Every structure is written in C-alpha cells, then in structure tokens.
Amino acid sequence: MCLKATIKISFLLLLVLCAGSAWAQSREELEKQRKQKLEEIAFTQKLIDQTGEAQKKNLNYLIIINRQIKNREQLIVTEHSVLKMLTRSIDQTELFILALESDINTLKEEYIEMAYFAFKNRSSYDYLLYIFASESLQEAWNRMRYIRFYNEIRTNQIELIKSTQQSLSHKITNLKSQINSKKELLENLELEKQKLQRDKTTKNEILGELKGKEKEFKDKLKEDQRIAKELDKAIEEIITAEIAKNENLELSGLSSNEFASNRNHFIWPANGIVSKGFGKQEHPTIPNVFINNFGIDIRTEKGAVVRAVFSGVVSHVIFIPGADNAIIIQHGEYYTVYKNLINVKVNTGDTVKEGQELGTVSYDENKEIAELHFEMRYLNEKLDPQLWLKKK
C-alpha cells in the first residue's frame, strides 16, 4: 500500500513538472509578445501625445490612431491567451492540491498501520523467530531482505509525509499567487478594452473631419507616388549599372549568403512603428484607391537616428526633392535603401558596419512628422522588409 502511494505521488509530481514546464515555456513566449506589444503601444502613445492639436484632424494622425487600435487589439488577444493558460493552470493546481491532501491522509493511515505492526513485533527475538522459521536458506534470505525493506519503508514514511506536506504548502501558495495574477490580468483587460474604445471613438471623429477632403488627399497621393517612382527609377538604374559592371556583385568580401542567412534577425533601421506596410494596400480614407509601397514607412520621433541594418558598402547617396536624402547600401547581391534622411554621416564608397549611424530622419515641422522610408531588394526584386527584420 505504501509503495503504491509513493509511486502515485511521484507520478503526480512528474505530471505537474511536465505540465509546469510546458506552461512556463508558453507563458514565457506570451509574456515576451505582451512586453513587445506594450512597448509599441507606449511608443505610439508618445507620438500621439506629441502631436499638436492642429495636426489631430489629418490623415497622418489617423494612421497613428489606426496603428494604436491594431496594437491594442493584438494585446487583448495575447492577454486572453495568457488568461486561458492561467485559468487552466489554476484548475490543474487545485486538482493537484486535492490529490496531495488525499495522499497525505493515505500516508498517515499507512504509517499508523506500520507503527502498530512495529509495536507488536518490536522484539528482535520475534524477527529472529520469523527468519529461523524458514524452510530453506533461500527463504530465510528473502525474509531478511523483506524485513530490511520494510524497515526502510517505515523510516522513509515520515520524510515522505513531510515532503508531501511541503509540496502541498508550496502549491497552495502558488495557487494564491496565480489567482491574484488572474485578478490583475482581468483588470488590465478591462482597462485595455476601455482604451481601445476610446481610440476607436477618436478614429471615427477624425474620419468625420476628413470627409470632403478627397481631392486634397488625391493630390498628395499623386505627389507621393511621383517621389516614390523617381526613387525607384534611380535605384533600378544604379543596380542595373552595377550588375553590368560587376558580374558577381561580391564586393569588399561581402557575401550575399551572409545577408540571406540573417533573415528575421536584421536590426531595425530606426526605432518606431510601421505606419505603412509593404505592397499594395487600400488608402485609409479614399475608397477604391490603392497605394503601392515598395518598402515600409517607419514613423518615429524628431531627431531619430537611422542605422545600417547590416554590414555593406555605400553604393550611392542621392538627393530627391521632397524626400531629402536617400542612401543605398550594397550587401553583395542585396541592397538596402534608406529614404528621407538629413545630417547624412556617410559617403559613396564607404564601408559601413551593422548598427552604424547613417544620419537622422527628416522632420516635417508643418506636419509634425518624422518618417523613414526603408526598402530591401535582391538585385531589382523588391522584398518585404518586415519578413527580414527582427520580429517586434
């Protein structure tokens, strides 16, 4: 009976340890996602707070609000996932506590039985009679082993009870902590839902203000597209010329394989939020009008530093009216492009290292915006930078 209880407790402990390990790994990953999302929400809120009242009724402000709404929705999804795991863990802990309480009662009953048996057979003479009553040497040996085993079990029974009680105490403490965490999480969820509703109300107010401004937006869109096409044409001409000049494009020992193998691990060129993603997407306010973005736009703070995402050679530094400076860096057959820079720190032909400062993001005083345009290319093939940069 005692051995069965010991096996049962060990099995329960193993199950809980395995479940606890899986829970810890999943919780750790969710907490990481939660932390990253909270950081992005805090940064986006900082941009919102820094926006002047005059700029809170335009398209650029709407883009930030839309991003914040998405951030909060993603955070709420993550919080719900944490809540489900926490609830499941609480349920498992409560079941384990019940099992431990049952095992402690069983162990105590078994110990009482053993203590009573030991009392009845407390004389060493009784043990000797038990051994000498054997019909063979083998049976006598087996009886000696049984007595030794029984004594060991009896000796360990108290320690087993103590360790089970300690485990029970620990589980109860852990359960209380989990319940408190659940209460705190539910409060945070409710608060985030309120903030989300507030942001959605702000979005609707901005959309109301922007009604009737389609012509203004279309004119601005045409200008943006002109600048984008001008930059795209310049980049393609530069890359085409370099392909013709260098057959393998492996300059200064830079390997395309090195660049490609770093996928999903590139540093971000600037700290900020993605205000416009890669590829074809619908205009935020004009129905049936689509924008084709060759890279991503990163909204950041005034004076934000731009850094090279990987080691390479500065292929060109060009000036484009309406977009300030653009820097093209070559990494073998790959290229990275940084547009809308001022205070440029590098020149054509310079070798740069990962993280090296290239300049600062240009700040539009009238619109109160600092926004970096960033592209990645394999030869003249346009790549989605968010598939290459570190996950946020």
Q: What is the DSSP string of 60-99?
A: HHHHHHHHHHHHHHHHHHHHHHHHHHHHHHHHHHHHHHHH
Sequence-distant (≥ 6) Cβ neighbours of residue 300 within 8 angstroms: 270, 271, 272, 273, 361, 370, 371, 372
Which of 99-113, 225-239, 376-390 has the largest mean confidence? Answer: 376-390
Taking alpha carbons only, the member of 231, 8, 224 closest to residue 104 is: 8
Q: Above 70 in pLDDT, residue 62?
A: yes
Whether the model clears a pTM of 0.85, i.e. scores above it, the answer is: no
> What integer is the mean pLDDT of 21-28?
62
Please say whether the beta carbons of 175 and 94 come within 8 A.
Answer: yes
Mean pLDDT, the chain, rounded, equals 79
How far is residue 97 CA from its own chain's centroid? Answer: 32
Quote the pLDDT of residue 384.
Answer: 96
Taking alpha carbons only, the member of 316, 330, 327, 326 closest to residue 258 is: 330
Q: Above 80 in pLDDT, residue 40?
A: yes
Query: CATH number of the domain at 214-387, please?
Result: 2.70.70.10
Q: Which of 102-106, 319-323, 345-349 has the lowest mean pLDDT?
A: 102-106
> What integer is the mean pLDDT of 115-139?
60
Q: Above 60 in pLDDT, residue 189?
A: yes
Domain extent listing, the chain: 2-210, 214-387
Q: Above 70 in pLDDT, residue 138?
A: yes
